A and B are shown apart, each in its own frame.
Chain A
Amino acid sequence: MYAVFVIFLPFIMAALLPAAHRLLGDRLIGWYVMAVPLILFAGLVRLIPRIADGEVVAVSYAWIPDAGIDLAVRVDGLGMIFALLITGVGTLVALYSIYYLSPRESLGHFYVYLLLFMGAMLGVVFSDNLMLLYTFWELTSISSFLLIAFWYHRKGSRYGAQKAMLITVMGGVSMLAGFLMLYFMTGTFSISEIIGMRDTLAGESLFVPAMFLILLGAFTKSVQFPFHIWLPDAMEAPTPVSAYLHSATMVKAGIYLVALFTPLFGGLDAWFWSLSIAGIVTLLWGAFNAMKQNDLKALLAYSTISQLGLIMSLLGFGSAALSADAAGNPTVYAAAGFAALFYLLNHSTFKGLLFMVIGIVDHEIGTRDIRRLGGLMSFMPVTFTFAVIGSFSMAGLPPFNGFLSKEMFFGAAVDIASGQPFAGGAEVIFPVIGWLASVFTFVYCTIIVYRTFLGPVQPEKIDRAPHEAPKGMLVAPGILAALVILIFFFPNVVGKYVIGPAMQVMFPALSQEANLVPKIEAWHGFNLPLLMTFGVIALGLLLFITFRHWKRIYRVAPFRWTMDSIYRWLLQTGEAGSTILTDLYMTGRSRDYFVFIYLFFLVAAGGMFFLTGAYEPDFSTGPVGIFEISFVIIMAFAAIAMLFVRSRITATLLNGVLGYSVAIFFVFFRAPDLALTQTVIETVTTVLFLLCFHFLPEWKPEDSPLRTKVVNGMIAIGAGTLVTAFGLTVQGYDVYESISSYFEDSYKLAGGSNIVNAILGDFRAFDTMLEVVVLFIAGIGVYTLIALKPKKGGDDIEGK
């Protein structure tokens, strides 16, 4: 029950936010929002001992039982890590944004989006049903879209939001396809049940395709190469959002997904190679690109890309523990999975810290371009200290938590290279590339500290006098900075209580192994990982000092061909192509549209009708009286006369004759409800027609060539004949039993003796409700089209 509460509290609070905003005002609304993650965080912390004992809190409510979709919530060790990040970093980010955002911004929107995101993200990590997970997954994409476009008057924000949305939703949809494949193979959407069927699933032909589709979802969300291109553009969002969504939580949803499915797919060589290669390429490419950035936030974006690649590759290394070849000593490889989760936690602390530091610089100085910054150390000593802590931790230096996890990464890469669990021989590249990327990481960490805080001040290039940030703004980064150091000194507390339970979830087959949770030690002798760290520092410093000289490498051709240009090309070609296609049939003449509609009807419905041999006319009739015959003659006369009339008003009236005659036929056939409705509808539409007269162009005789007229005439006659053929066939149709006997009991079932209304309002009420909604939307559509259209000579809304 508590787990459901955790997911839905943010949504409930978001719904109540407008009211609270009015009550509390701009000053206090941030504290209202901050209370949500704080309460949840406290509750989750209280759960930690139970989860650490291996307990799993799970509840399930039926949601759409017919489709196997349940509101199944499951709190286990893996979800717990992410939930702690979401609520913990969420609290700090809310606190930080209270001071970051000016009350002039539309705070209401901002906080509603933020709470929506929080709820959706908690939903992702606590769902035990694939469809539920997918729903929340897409909701995170949508709330991220809204947050990136928060300053929607900026072109860059809108572009970045659209880009993030297109790429992540594309991945999300392919993930959905993968989920559906899993459903077809297992017959259930329950994640824990599917994972339990691992052994029977492995032989299925759809197993590997499903894996790749799910990975596509994870890679787009967690910005793996080549889908990383959306993250730098997403940096248009306000900095608290970048710190929260685009470094600490949302981009880690893909990591979560991979970790979640490790017990299912782990051990497959395709899984190992996809994760390791995608991860290591992303690691290198992100770090390489980070060094050339001038915008500090873009630098952090690329560094996030790079570190997410690192975590992804560690998950890949770790999955080797579940392969058959690793039977000898699986925990050696499983340690990589441990390192992944440990790095994930550390990354959230130091990257969140750095984003907040950059936010402070941007907020107080007015720029985050390193070409204009420098020498801020003496003006902003506290911020400088935080920047040093964050950057050195990211670079992998002691005494910060990044050192521990970076060493573990080196260790895991070396173990993979020496163990070669898949006997590929190519594993040797992992430690080499990982080490090179770490050198780059060291270089850009130095850039952050040196170019911003050291060196000469450039007062002529900045608009404001530099000064330290207000105290409130320093609290959140201060807490993170303290964590960065605390985790270094007490890593095993985190390892035992937070990461240990998650390891049990990721490697259920190894849960009995004693050393599944390795002991983290800062000092572990002069071994290869430590030597690699020394190498990183030496080469990193050298590269930093000589940066000016080898900077030109970025102008070499292959590095300029970015994925960005491919994305833009796809977008432009797609838009141009669809314009050409749409212009082809959207002629703006209703005559053409009728031709399309009836032609399609003739070909599709008529073709089906005659090809399947369904045409079996039944000419038997009931008694036909003089009234029926005379009204048929009247209708035929009115319809044919309409072709030859010279004024529109005559045509309208003739149309009315047709409509009212149909109503009279309803009377003949004893359908009073239909007759009533038809009469009133006919009256109202005639009035509408008269009102529209003003807008309609002059009634001109059709001037199209004879050939067109003949073709149109044939289509019209064909459509009419087809409908008649349908009518004649339906008359004698008795393949299925009639369901009308059910409705005849309407007095007993619905308490009403009017069957028509019992069907409309009771048996098929859902249809009626949707029709009502459609009617309402149509009305609003007409209103907006007419009332809100731009006045002549006014602003061009589309072009803006």
Chain B
Amino acid sequence: MKENDVILRTVTRVVVFIILTFGVELFLSGHHNPGGGFVGGLVLSSALVLLYVVFDIETVHQGVPFDFRKIAAFGAMVSLLSGTGAAVLGKPFLTQGFGYFDLPIFGLTELATVTIFEAGVALTVIGTVVTIILSISKDV
């Protein structure tokens, strides 16, 4: 079955970048504004899902050559291990720390360990969502 999806393909090429940017923005702004690791990861994975829907799996795989199962595992590992640092320092497991640093370009910036934890969350979400969708669609 030949489908005419020129418009979809053309729009996707542009829109995917907007979605990806939005996802990263959501992820980073989560500390003070709406967003965070979970929804950021979801938006990022929805961009990938859009790519998979519009183009075929092989084409996308050439551009994004990751094994998403490993990404999910890595993410879960990161959020698990990010808590052990606190445990080693004698604080309860998963205690998060934060501080304000004067960085060269950014000026006074807040850095928080919660970002590492949230990165793990985001990676797990991306990995899991894409794994589920890929394994279902591959089976067709």
- Which of B3-11, B38-46, B58-66 has 4 or more CB atoms under 8 Å from chain A? B38-46
Given A751-B98, A754-B32, A761:B118 Cβ within 8 A: yes
Residues of chain B with a CB closer than 8 A to A783's CB: 69, 131-132, 135
A99–B73 Cα distance when bound, in Å, is: 39
Q: Mark B24-55, 1 if CB is under 8 A from A, else 0.
A: 00100011111111110011011001000100
* Cβ B93 vs Cβ A761 within 8 A: no
Q: B45: nearest residue on chain A (CB-CB)?
A: A684
A141–B32 Cα distance when bound, in Å, is: 50
Instruction: Say yes or no for A753: interface residue by CB 8 A criterion.
Output: yes
* Cβ B124 vs Cβ A757 within 8 A: no
Q: Which interface class (under 10, 10 to 19, 20 to 34, 35 or more) fits A? A: 35 or more
A743 to chain B, nearest CB (A): 14
A418 to chain B, nearest CB (A): 60
Q: B134: nearest residue on chain A (CB-CB)?
A: A783
- Which of A281-289, A380-388, A503-511, A763-771 has 4 or more CB atoms under 8 Å from chain B? A763-771
* Cβ A688 vs Cβ B136 within 8 A: yes
Number of A-B pairs, beta carbon distance below 8 Å: 143
Instruction: Say yes or no for A715: interface residue by CB 8 A criterion.
Output: no
Instruction: Say yes or no for B140: interface residue by CB 8 A criterion.
Output: yes
Partner of B94, one of A753, A754, A769: A769
Q: Which of B94-140 contact A (CB under 8 A)?
A: 94, 96, 98-99, 110, 112, 114, 117-118, 120-121, 124-125, 127-129, 131-133, 135-140
A451 to chain B, nearest CB (A): 56
A694–B79 Cα distance when bound, in Å, is: 36
* Cβ B112 vs Cβ A779 within 8 A: no
Q: A690: nearest residue on chain B (CB-CB)?
A: B53
B86 to chain A, nearest CB (A): 10
* Cβ A762 vs Cβ B114 within 8 A: yes
A482 to chain B, nearest CB (A): 47
Q: B74: nearest residue on chain A (CB-CB)?
A: A776
* Cβ A776 vs Cβ B31 within 8 A: no
Q: B136: nearest residue on chain A (CB-CB)?
A: A691
* Cβ A684 vs Cβ B34 within 8 A: no
B28 to chain A, nearest CB (A): 12
* Cβ A762 vs Cβ B137 within 8 A: no
A687–B118 Cα distance when bound, in Å, is: 25
Instruction: Say yes or no for A773: interface residue by CB 8 A criterion.
Output: yes
Q: A785: nearest residue on chain B (CB-CB)?
A: B135
* Cβ A762 vs Cβ B36 within 8 A: no
Q: B139: nearest residue on chain A (CB-CB)?
A: A786
Q: B97: nearest residue on chain A (CB-CB)?
A: A751
Interface SS of B by simple majority = helix
* Cβ A754 vs Cβ B31 within 8 A: yes
A681–B132 Cα distance when bound, in Å, is: 14
* Cβ A769 vs Cβ B35 within 8 A: no
* Cβ B35 vs Cβ A673 within 8 A: yes
Given A769-B80, A776-B128, A783-B131, A762:B96 Cβ within 8 A: yes
A688–B129 Cα distance when bound, in Å, is: 10
* Cβ B80 vs Cβ A773 within 8 A: yes
Residues of chain B with a CB closer than 8 A to A586's CB: none
* Cβ B137 vs Cβ A691 within 8 A: yes
Given A692-B136, A769-B80, A757:B31 Cβ within 8 A: yes
A235 to chain B, nearest CB (A): 39
Residues of chain B with a CB closer than 8 A to A773's CB: 76, 80
* Cβ B135 vs Cβ A761 within 8 A: no
B27 to chain A, nearest CB (A): 11
A695–B112 Cα distance when bound, in Å, is: 45
Residues of chain A with a CB closer than 8 A to B129's CB: 684, 779
Q: Mark A593-630, 1 if CB is under 8 A from B, else 0.
A: 00000000000000000000000000000000000000
Q: Mark B70-85, 1 if CB is under 8 A from A, else 0.
A: 0011011001100100
A779–B136 Cα distance when bound, in Å, is: 11
* Cβ B36 vs Cβ A757 within 8 A: yes
* Cβ A672 vs Cβ B112 within 8 A: no
Residues of chain A with a CB closer than 8 A to B45's CB: 684
* Cβ B32 vs Cβ A752 within 8 A: yes
* Cβ B96 vs Cβ A754 within 8 A: no
Residues of chain B with a CB closer than 8 A to A787's CB: 135, 138-139
* Cβ A688 vs Cβ B30 within 8 A: no
Residues of chain A with a CB closer than 8 A to B26's CB: 676
Residues of chain A with a CB closer than 8 A to B131's CB: 779-780, 782-783
* Cβ B135 vs Cβ A782 within 8 A: yes
Given A757-B30, A769-B79, A773-B76, A779:B132 Cβ within 8 A: yes
Residues of chain A with a CB closer than 8 A to B127's CB: 776, 779
Q: B43: nearest residue on chain A (CB-CB)?
A: A680
Residues of chain A with a CB closer than 8 A to B114's CB: 750, 752, 757, 761-762, 765
* Cβ B128 vs Cβ A761 within 8 A: no
A242–B133 Cα distance when bound, in Å, is: 48
Given A673-B35, A684-B129, A757-B30, A772:B124 Cβ within 8 A: yes
Residues of chain A with a CB closer than 8 A to B53's CB: 687
Residues of chain A with a CB closer than 8 A to B83's CB: 765-766, 769
Q: A783: nearest residue on chain B (CB-CB)?
A: B135
B114 to chain A, nearest CB (A): 4
A766–B75 Cα distance when bound, in Å, is: 15
A774–B131 Cα distance when bound, in Å, is: 14
Q: Which of A675-731 contact B (CB under 8 A)?
A: 676-677, 680-681, 683-684, 687-688, 691-692, 694-695
A769–B38 Cα distance when bound, in Å, is: 11
Residues of chain A with a CB closer than 8 A to B98's CB: 750-752
Residues of chain B with a CB closer than 8 A to A772's CB: 75-76, 79, 120-121, 124
Residues of chain B with a CB closer than 8 A to A683's CB: 46
* Cβ B34 vs Cβ A676 within 8 A: yes
Residues of chain B with a CB closer than 8 A to A751's CB: 31, 98-99, 110, 112
Instruction: Say yes or no for A28: interface residue by CB 8 A criterion.
Output: no
* Cβ A677 vs Cβ B39 within 8 A: yes
Instruction: Say yes or no for A15: interface residue by CB 8 A criterion.
Output: no
A773–B77 Cα distance when bound, in Å, is: 9
B76 to chain A, nearest CB (A): 4
Residues of chain A with a CB closer than 8 A to B72's CB: 776, 779-780
Residues of chain A with a CB closer than 8 A to B120's CB: 772
Residues of chain A with a CB closer than 8 A to B137's CB: 691
Q: B130: nearest residue on chain A (CB-CB)?
A: A779
A760–B138 Cα distance when bound, in Å, is: 34
Residues of chain B with a CB closer than 8 A to A761's CB: 36-37, 96, 114, 117-118, 121
Instruction: Say yes or no for A538: interface residue by CB 8 A criterion.
Output: no
Partner of A752, one of B31, B49, B79: B31
Residues of chain B with a CB closer than 8 A to A695's CB: 139
A797 to chain B, nearest CB (A): 17
Instruction: Say yes or no for A778: interface residue by CB 8 A criterion.
Output: yes
Q: A747: nearest residue on chain B (CB-CB)?
A: B32
* Cβ B75 vs Cβ A754 within 8 A: no
Residues of chain A with a CB closer than 8 A to B135's CB: 782-783, 786-787
A65 to chain B, nearest CB (A): 11
B10 to chain A, nearest CB (A): 20
B52 to chain A, nearest CB (A): 9
Partner of B136, one of A673, A680, A782: A782
A668 to chain B, nearest CB (A): 15
Q: A675: nearest residue on chain B (CB-CB)?
A: B34
A447–B99 Cα distance when bound, in Å, is: 77
A783–B133 Cα distance when bound, in Å, is: 9
Q: A769: nearest residue on chain B (CB-CB)?
A: B79
Residues of chain A with a CB closer than 8 A to B138's CB: 786-787
A782–B132 Cα distance when bound, in Å, is: 6
* Cβ B94 vs Cβ A765 within 8 A: yes
A67 to chain B, nearest CB (A): 14
* Cβ B32 vs Cβ A753 within 8 A: yes
User: Apart from A761-B37, A787-B138, what 13 extra A-B contacts exist at CB < 8 Å?
Assistant: A673-B36, A680-B39, A683-B46, A687-B46, A691-B140, A692-B136, A751-B99, A753-B32, A756-B34, A761-B118, A765-B114, A776-B127, A787-B135
Give me 16 A-to-B residue pairs in the complex whose CB atoms sit less than 8 angstroms apart, sorted by A's number.
A677-B38, A681-B42, A683-B46, A684-B49, A684-B129, A691-B133, A751-B99, A754-B36, A757-B114, A760-B38, A761-B96, A768-B79, A776-B72, A776-B75, A780-B72, A783-B132
